[in-house]
Amino acid sequence: MNMIQINENKCVGCGYCETNCPHFAITVLGFAKFNADKCEMCMKCLSVCPTNSIRMM
């Protein structure tokens, strides 16, 4: 199950979540892709996303 959900329609691919994720759980290529295995639920990605594209499940 994905704990973090990324809204691909809203995500512009600015990469702030990727560069701020302490666990390298996100890769961005046009839009963010999330790796559930690496996620530690620290919520840093939510606080830096300028387009409100990241949601907690």
Contact footprint for another protein (CB under 8 A): 10, 12-16, 18-20, 28-31, 44, 47-51
17 vs 8, 35, 39, CA distance in Å?
14, 12, 12
| Closest distance to another protein from the beta carbon of 50 (Å) | 5
- CB of 3 vs another protein, minimal distance in Å: 19
**Minimum distance of another protein from residue 44's CB (angstroms):** 8
Q: How far apart are CA 9 and CA 24, in angstroms?
A: 22
**What is the rounded CA–CA span in Å between residue 11 and residue 49?**
9
Nearer of residues 39 and 46 to another protein, judged by Cβ? 46
